[in-house]
Amino acid sequence: MQKKSEGIKPAITRRQFLSDIAVLGAGAATGAGFTLPAWAQTKSTKTGTVRVWGEPGPYGGVAVDAMNEWAKQFAPDLTFKLETLSWDGVYVKLMTDLAAKNPAHCISVESPIAYQLMAEQLLEPLDDVVQKVGKNRLVDGVKWEYWGAWQGKQYVLPAHHQPHLLVVRMDVVKELGLGDPDKWDWNDLRNAAKTISEKKKDMAGISLALGRNLCTDYHFAALLHSAGGSMFDPANKFQVVFDSPETVEALEYVKSLQPYMPKGAVSYSFLEVVDSIVTGRAAISFYWGRPYGRAAEENKPVFANLESFNHARHPKTGRRSNWNDFQGWCIPRSNNAYIEEVKAALAYYQTSPEWLVRYCHSLMPNVSPVYKDVLNDPRMQTHPFFQTKKDTIMNYYVNSLPHSSSTGNELLKGISPLAGIVHGRSILAQTVQKVVVDGWKSADAAKWGAKELEQIRKDNLRLLGGVV
């Protein structure tokens, strides 16, 4: 395996590439060949620090660099500063800071939480920024509302889309003759996990998060949606539909996979799942593109053999639903002295293909481009991962989109502002844990989850506004 990876040696390394592109990008984006439209040239005399929240990862830093470049030219006394929030802490931090009326001036957040914030009327509408960015630029298969639109107004500007897919160690799959992961259904996936667990010493067949956290919510949601289930029905006043045979089936499926997971999976969250893949302790997982960057630096043999596919089909529905974050930028409206400056800086960086390519390149293939011109930009393919992982990258970037889903827009049937609260209370993860930790029957756990969701719906009818 070691020899194989040595043979693949790319022309330049990822780290070298990132370092090179940082230098190039700084030069390219300082103005050379990039003419700003009149609206972006409005000067601001405001002073101070504009706080920007982002999730862990270098891409938030790239975006803030772009915003600072705008500030350098048009608001010289302003500095944009990134504050990184851990994934599992994002809801608590967001809610406590909003409650204390001290949120950041600009927030990058996943769509379910953004939907809640916009329905709470805590966000500034961004329709004017959308016009400046270009309404017709989105890649095929997505709509503006996926990032955050409510009652006719756009509140969230796309940062990236980010699906979790089936991450597979192909060397192990080939060695054990487990077939093509792209053709697997749920039964094939379980059989593959079982075979790997039985035949490979010190390797779990599959690694999923089963802890009481956001990652478990996201893993389970994909299975629930593949089975055809949902939490709420947007077509019927957001009635709770969680107590269903589909939920029970998804829970039973997780339970049936558990023997082939690391035993510690019941406390796993994002980091532990990545660790298990990158260190070679698990052969299959549901994950976003993040393990590739780490594996490229820490465990080259694993990197060389890692590929991602759309999820295994549900045997009856045929669905291959993933979880897509549809991460976007939004602007809290209360106590925010920099609304116009943030809008201008966002528009500046969103209209600069150089910065947007750098944004995607900063953690390949974790953050997918959302604009056609960026996806098709020749510079995009200069990243070294394109030499060996093109199929995987395109699966994340493009082929995943027909299977997009999330709790905030279940099976793309309608925006639900309740999903953020569901995640804040880890209702899906708790439901899963009732089965895998407490030994409840799946049907009872589904009933428990439905009762909790009903309570959330009842407590937050106001968020549903004109819908209910």
Partner 1 sequence: MFDSTDWKVADRRIGILFIIPFALAALVFMVYPVAEAVRLAFYEHNPLRPEASHFVGLENFRTIYDDPLFWKSFQQATIWTACSIVLQTVIGVALALLLHLPLRGISLFRGLLLFPYIVPTVVIALVLQWMLNAEIGVVNWSLKSAGLIDENIYWLATPNMAMISTIMLNVWKYTPFVTICVLARLQTIPLELYDAAKVDGAGTLRRFIDITLPQLAEVLTVVVIFRTIWTFNKFEEIYLLTKGGPGTSTFNLAIYSFEQSVASLKMGVGAATGVVMMFLLFTGSLIYMRVFKFAEEETA
Per-residue contact string for residues 101-140; x = within reach of partner 1 by CB under 8 A = -------------------x-x------------------
**Under rule CB under 8 A, residue 424 binds partner 1:** yes
For residue 115, what are the contacts with CB-CB under 8 A and spacing of at least 6?
148, 150, 408, 409, 415, 416, 417, 419, 420
CB of 92 to partner 1, least distance (A): 5
Nearer to partner 1, 225 or 423 (CB): 423
Residue 245 — φ and ψ, nearest 5°? -60, -30
Task: Enumerate the β-bridge partners of residue 108.
Answer: 329
In this structure, the dihedral spanned by the alpha carbons of residues 382, 111, 445 and 186, taken in order and rounded to 10 degrees, is: -30
* C-alpha–C-alpha distance, residues 254 and 438, integer Å: 14
Among 62, 64, 82, 98, indicate the residue that binds partner 1 (CB under 8 A). 98
Choice from 28, 109, 248, 421 touching partner 1 (CB under 8 A): 421
Rounded to whole angstroms, how far apart are CA atoms 255 and 259? 8
How many angstroms separate the CA atoms of 236 and 248, rounded? 22
Tell me the residue type at 330: C
- Of residues 280-319, those binding partner 1 (CB under 8 A): 281
Rounded Cα–Cα distance for residues 431 and 442 (Å): 9
Enumerate residues 6+ apart whose C-beta is below 8 A from 201: none
Nearer residue to partner 1 within complex by CB, 277 or 374: 277
Q: How far is the CB of 255 from partner 1 (least distance, A)?
A: 14
CB of 204 to partner 1, least distance (A): 10
Measuring CA to CA, how many Å separate 196 from each of 86, 200, 263, 341? 32, 5, 15, 54
Is residue 431 part of the contact set for partner 1 (CB under 8 A)? no
426 binds partner 1 (CB under 8 A): yes
Under the criterion CB under 8 A, does residue 266 sit at the interface with partner 1?
Answer: yes
Stretch that binds partner 1, among 48-56, 89-97, 246-254, 342-350 (CB under 8 A): 89-97
Among 434, 442, 447, 449, interactor with partner 1 by CB under 8 A: 434
- Answer yes or no whether residue 271 interacts with partner 1 by CB under 8 A: no
- Give me the least distance between CB of 93 and partner 1, in Å please: 10
Residue 159: which of 178, 198, 184, 133 has the closest Cα? 133
256 binds partner 1 (CB under 8 A): no
Q: Which of residues 211-250 bind partner 1 (CB under 8 A)?
A: 211-213
Distance CA 464, CA 197 (A): 46
Compute φ and ψ for 117, nearest 5 degrees: -65, -40
Residue placing its CB nearer to partner 1 in the complex, 370 or 445: 445
The reply on whether position 449 binds partner 1 by CB under 8 A is: no
Does 430 sit near partner 1 (CB under 8 A)? yes
Residue 438 near partner 1 by CB under 8 A: yes
If the CB atoms of residues 193 and 357 are measured against partner 1, the closer one turns out to be: 193
Q: Which of 12, 241, 437, 467 binds partner 1 (CB under 8 A)?
A: 437
CB 349 within 8 A of CB 66: yes
| Secondary-structure breakdown of the chain: helix, strand, coil percentages, each rounded to the nearest 5 | 55, 15, 30
Kindly tell me which residue out of 19, 47, 96, 239 binds partner 1, with binding defined by CB under 8 A.
96
Token pair recorded at residue 415: 């925006």
Residue 221 CB, shortest distance to partner 1, in Å, is 18
Please report whether residue 458 would count as binding partner 1 according to CB under 8 A: no
122 contacts 69 by C-beta, under 8 angstroms: no
Residues that bind partner 1 (CB under 8 A): 91-92, 95-96, 98-100, 120, 122, 211-213, 262-267, 281, 421, 424-426, 430, 433-434, 437-438, 459
